[in-house]
Amino acid sequence: MLKRNYIPLGVTIGLFLLMFVAGSFRYTGFFSGQVLLNLLIDNAFLLITAVGMTFVIVSGGIDLSVGSVIALTTMVSASLLQQGWPPALVILLVLIMGTIFGTAMGAAIHYFNIQPFIVTLAGMFLARGLCYVISINTITIDNAFYTAAAQTKIKLPGDQFVSISVIIALVVVALGIYLAHYTKFGRNTYAIGGSEASSLLMGLPVARTKLMVYGFSGLCSALAGVVFTFYMLSGYGLHANGMELDVIAAVVIGGTLLTGGVGYVVGTFFGVMIQGVIQTIISFEGTLSSWWTRIVIGVLLLLFILLQRLLGERRLAERG
């Protein structure tokens, strides 16, 4: 029989397939490989961020700073490129910055025993505020490397294509799957999310794992910021405003329990794709406001939380 933990994942994948098939029947031109690839092209930065968030939520935490870290990455990148810094050094610097930022929040959460919501909320305000310290205006990027990265199309069979951002996002997804299921770091993350007290009694490195989890989330956010910079070719303090909510929604719709201990990177992938399908359907419809995306995602999020609650209560009843 199917494990109960896999039920939300199965529902997510089934929902994605159902929505894509429904869109294919309703709209001419919807059922095509390029439409499917466009879901990845348009949501690559969201997918990268969501992989990092999956580890955070699986560990029993939350990270509200991801959108602000993306914005800060675009601002730092644009500012340094404007001053003539080489792109490779700029990308390396912002990745290190994101990792240190996330690790610092993880340290504050663990060593000072502060709720992740409070610490990452402070991190969100700090990163967003630093954007405006750099500049209150948009900084345009005209660097040749970034322009080439934004415009390069990787050809695929059937006259289809993807962007460099998609390749980066898929590599991050593959890395996330490997880390979650084939490393001690992944197993420790699941154990801490299941019960931090039990993990301490078992002698697991709780402190180190928490720091690594938030450091990895910061790294993913910074990398998403690099990809977002390719996408927008500018730095601006309002970039990715509110994206942390989209990321959390994608992870939860992907079957990750908000209470921690259960979750799959594959589910997160399909959670992001579901958001992309909703946006595409609304675009094909043409008469609906983009706010319908938020409405549908909100309904799905509520349904998945109710499903998680129902499965949790059944699990407790069976144990009792």
Give 35-90 as a DSSP string. Answer: HHHHHHHHHHHHHHHHHHHHHHHHTT---TTHHHHHHHHHHHHHHHHHTT--HHHH
- CA separation for the pair 165, 153 (Å, rounded): 10
Q: What is the pLDDT of residue 117?
A: 96
- 205-to-54, 110, 116, 225 alpha-carbon distances in Å: 19, 12, 18, 30
- CA separation for the pair 317, 194 (Å, rounded): 17
* 186-213 confidence digits (pLDDT tens): 999 999 999 999 999 999 999 999 999 9
Token output for 259: 């209470």
- For residue 304, the 8-state DSSP code is H
* 246-266 confidence digits (pLDDT tens): 999 999 999 898 888 889 999
pLDDT category, 7, cuts 50, 70, 90?
A: confident
Q: What pTM was computed for the model?
A: 0.94
Instruction: State the virtual CA torsion across 70, 91, 146, 143 in degrees, nearest 10.
Output: 110
- CA separation for the pair 16, 31 (Å, rounded): 13
